[in-house]
Amino acid sequence: MSINIASNYKKLKAQIPKGINLLAVSKGNSSTSIRQLIELGQFHFGESKLQEALPKIGQLREFSNLTWHFIGRIQSNKVRGILKSFDVIHSVDSLLLAEKISRISLEEKKTPRIMFQVKLRDDPQKGGFLRNEILDMWPKLCELPNLQTIGLMTMSPIDLKVNERILLFRECRLLADQLKLRECSMGMSQDWMEAIQEGATWLRLGSSLFRNRIDK
């Protein structure tokens, strides 16, 4: 059975309230698949590896209205490349990295929109600011030139139960509100409904768009 990306997309869009943004996470998928979504009016795409993203961004250059979001772990030597091709970065996970992005943005005359990745539960697999770290570093982070800080991003450890995810998302929303940040990038294919309920503004959906779904 072939994958019906268009029908996945339409079903998801119908369930996502207006005002909540859908980031189509296209990592692992070709520019041909991405085109199918562009034809349906999707303009925001997320990628997590620079080397994988660059050819696709090139192949889709004819579409001037696309916004590319970087959502993956950022290696220090990739910052310049990321800034040249991406408009939004969701995964700024340390002060050192934020400083580097700021410095190179200044050199490249870029003003990227960024989100700080926060780690609200212990998770050795993931990076991110702990709650107290981001609060302590906040004055410093705010002073970094050329960064447009728009929000926080978080990911739920895979083993959390539904009610624990809800609490995690709620804490992320509260922290963003405390820092006076509008955007919360949270919720993936497994937990986007809970994320909406708790105040997500950007859902990052990959497999629910690009894989066959067994409908409930």
Q: Which of 188, 193, 199, 213 binds ligand PLP (CB under 6 A)?
A: 188
Lookup result for tokens 């739920």: 156
Kindly report the CA angle at 74 between 157 and 72, in degrees rounded to 5?
45
Is 168 one of the binding residues for ligand PLP (CB under 6 A)?
no
- Return the number of the residue (56 or 146) whose C-beta is nearest ligand PLP: 56
73-76 long-range contacts (CB < 8 A, ≥24 apart) are 73/48, 73/127, 76/100
- Return the number of the residue (69 or 100) whose C-beta is nearest ligand PLP: 69
- Return the number of the residue (21 or 189) whose C-beta is nearest ligand PLP: 189
- Return the number of the residue (142 or 162) whose C-beta is nearest ligand PLP: 162
Is 69 one of the binding residues for ligand PLP (CB under 6 A)?
no
The first and second tokens of residue 152, run together, are 């926080």
Is 111 one of the binding residues for ligand PLP (CB under 6 A)?
no
Lookup result for tokens 């497999």: 207
Is 27 one of the binding residues for ligand PLP (CB under 6 A)?
yes
Is 103 one of the binding residues for ligand PLP (CB under 6 A)?
no
Is 48 one of the binding residues for ligand PLP (CB under 6 A)?
yes
Q: Is residue 87 within 8 Å of 148, Cβ to Cβ? A: no
Report the distance separating Cα 193 and Cα 211, nearest Å: 18
Report the distance separating Cα 140 and Cα 1, nearest Å: 52
Binding site for ligand PLP (CB under 6 A): 25, 27, 48, 71-72, 188-190, 204-208
